[in-house]
Amino acid sequence: MIKAIHHIELHTVDPDRLLNLFVHIYGFQVIATRTTKNYSQWLLKSYKCQLLISSVSSLQLNNVTAYKNDDYDILTSILHREDTRDFIFNRDTVFNVALLVNSVSTILDNTNDIQVIVSRRQATNEHGTIDYACIKSCVGNVVHTLIDASNYTGSVLPGFVIVPISHQQNSDKLLVNDMDHVAFAMQNNSALPSIRWYEKVFGMKRFIVNQEDDPFQGFPVRVGTMGMRLFASAYWKCAETACINEEKANIKFVFSESLIEDDSRSKDQITNFITHHNHQAGIQHIAFICTSDIKDAVRTTKANGAQFLQPCRDYYLKVGTKGVNIDVFLFFDITKENNGRVIEEANENADELAELGILLDNEAETTEISRCKKRVLLQIFTKSIFDNDTFFLELIERRGATGFGAGNIRTLWKIVQQQTGDRS
């Protein structure tokens, strides 16, 4: 049903800022552009990863015109409709996870639980024809463009103008290889219904985050009366093809819901996201897989101006380190995670990871054979790339690990809580 993520679309009121971030800091290339009466767009690429930056101005909104039949276009329809216009207009948000699919019609006809924003259309140029449509997700302002490009050989969607290689901004090297996962932030008790929706519409299945993931409660992170509950869904291409050697999920969606009840006056980072995101659930972050090792990527992006969240130095120490007061570990619960030992066992240098701000976690194994294999996950998270303090980026390196480390999830939650001043 689903082949891959085709692109992720961001809307911004300040496109120059986003272009500078992704091109000059993270090494993306602007490979195509488009300007219409309604909006401007820039298509960015780094190996398998494509981002689409879109920007609509208030002056353009009063002159929304019908889409050009031969071109790919979902924004005109979104702007025309009163019930979808606020998904993007006059705000910074990541709103569209465009999916490459085998058949648009099959998905549209599969269930009645779909709100169609753009009915099935075709876009055509000299390279062939694509079928596409756009549906609303069950999550906040998120939409999914469905693209069937099986009869299309072009490198960009119809309607976009390719930027000549001689005009593309040169980057020393591409730092991002692909997307690892997309994470949503949502209200309390909304994750499981969302997982059921994605299973019914796209055939995605529940993905076990780690060994502490409960079938009904997910993976909870609690800090006093606050915290979050984490669930994940994944789509394996092998679900259709019956291949036997594919171990990695092609698409992973992570659902993070607040443990705070909707009628509570308490706030945490999930409810803060929703408040600052026009009181809507939405895409909280996307994780990029690095082309080489994550340490090299972090050094390069930091030199380019990237701003990352910084764990407390004590995160990298081993329990029982000589001369270290155990009280310093209470905030990060080192007595449970013992990150220094995990880092040492992964043959990494704690001082080096501390300097870079990279988190490292191992993946618990359940069999004697698998225990012989070290499964390690390395992650780092940026500060919000938007002024509204919502969406951020993650860089990730997987060394055999398929899930999400419990220690890293707890640590990320606590770092963000400390940064926002919402720790209980």
Residue 282, class by beta-carbon neighbours within 10 Å (0-12 exposed, 13-18 middle, 19+ buried)?
Answer: buried
Distance separating alpha carbons of residues 167 and 141, to the nearest angstrom: 34
CB half-sphere exposure, 190, CA atoms < 13 A: 22
Q: pLDDT at residue 219 above 60?
A: yes
Q: How confident is the model at residue 60 (pLDDT cuts 50, 70, 90)?
A: low
The predicted pLDDT at position 338 comes to 55
Q: How many CB atoms are located within 10 Å of the residue 62 CB?
A: 6
Q: pLDDT at residue 350 above 50?
A: yes
How many residues appear in the chain? 424
**Residue 342: which of 362, 326, 324, 356 has the closest Cα?**
362
CB contact set of 400 (below 8 Å; sequence gap of 6+): 363, 373, 374, 375, 376
Higher pLDDT, 242 or 90: 90
Q: Give the rounded percent of residues in the chain with a pLDDT score beyond 90.
A: 59
The predicted pLDDT at position 407 comes to 77
**pLDDT, tens digit (0-9, with 9 covering 90-100), for 97-146:** 999 999 999 999 988 889 999 999 999 999 999 999 999 999 999 999 99
Residue 252, class by beta-carbon neighbours within 10 Å (0-12 exposed, 13-18 middle, 19+ buried)?
Answer: buried
Backbone CA torsion sign across 287, 209, 272, 310? negative
- Can you read off the two tokens belonging to residue 209? 């985050």
Q: pLDDT at residue 341 above 60?
A: yes
Q: How many CB atoms are located within 10 Å of the residue 106 CB?
A: 12
Q: How does 64-91 read in b/e, with b if 16+ C-beta sit within 10 Å? A: beebeeebbbbbbbbbeeeebeebbbeb
Q: How confident is the model at residue 403 (pLDDT cuts 50, 70, 90)?
A: confident
The predicted pLDDT at position 211 comes to 79
**pLDDT, tens digit (0-9, with 9 covering 90-100), for 135-151:** 999 999 999 999 999 99
Mean pLDDT over 347-373 rounds to 75
Cα separation values, 184 from 39, 54, 308, 321, Å: 26, 20, 20, 38
The lowest-confidence range among 66-70, 99-103, 341-345 is 66-70
- Can you read off the two tokens belonging to residue 268? 């945490």
The lowest-confidence range among 14-23, 67-76, 309-318, 349-358 is 309-318
Q: Are 161 and 41 in contact (CB under 8 A)?
A: no
- Residues facing residue 379 across a β-bridge: 359, 396
Mean pLDDT over 328-342 rounds to 52
The predicted pLDDT at position 208 comes to 83
- Can you read off the two tokens belonging to residue 391? 């969406």
The most confident of the ranges 108-117, 404-413, 414-423 is 108-117
The lowest-confidence range among 58-62, 175-179, 218-222 is 58-62
- Residues facing residue 323 across a β-bridge: none
Indicate the DSSP class of residue 193: H
Average confidence score pLDDT of the chain: 85
Q: Give the rounded percent of residues in the chain with a pLDDT score beyond 70.
A: 83
Q: How confident is the model at residue 332 (pLDDT cuts 50, 70, 90)?
A: very low
Q: pLDDT at residue 328 above 80?
A: no
Q: How confident is the model at residue 240 (pLDDT cuts 50, 70, 90)?
A: very low
**pLDDT, tens digit (0-9, with 9 covering 90-100), for 144-203:** 999 999 999 999 999 999 998 766 766 667 899 999 999 999 999 999 999 999 999 999
Q: What is the pTM of this model?
A: 0.90
The predicted pLDDT at position 373 comes to 61
**Residue 98: which of 135, 138, 150, 59 has the closest Cα?**
135
Mean pLDDT over 46-72 rounds to 81
- Can you read off the two tokens belonging to residue 16? 């120059």
Q: Are 315 and 339 in contact (CB under 8 A)?
A: yes
Mean pLDDT over 355-363 rounds to 90
- Can you read off the two tokens belonging to residue 163? 């930027």
The predicted pLDDT at position 17 comes to 96
Q: How confident is the model at residue 363 (pLDDT cuts 50, 70, 90)?
A: confident
Q: How confident is the model at residue 274 (pLDDT cuts 50, 70, 90)?
A: very high
DSSP β-ladder status, 226-235 and 219-223 = antiparallel
Distance separating alpha carbons of residues 361 and 316, to the nearest angstrom: 11
Domains of the chain plus CATH, in order, are: 2-167 (3.10.180.10), 176-420 (3.10.180.10)
Look-up: residue for tokens 């985050």? 209
- Residues facing residue 115 across a β-bridge: 136
**Residue 253: which of 333, 185, 354 has the closest Cα?**
185
CB half-sphere exposure, 218, CA atoms < 13 A: 26
**Residue 137: which of 93, 87, 205 has the closest Cα?**
87
Largest distance between two CA atoms of the chain = 71
Q: How confident is the model at residue 365 (pLDDT cuts 50, 70, 90)?
A: low
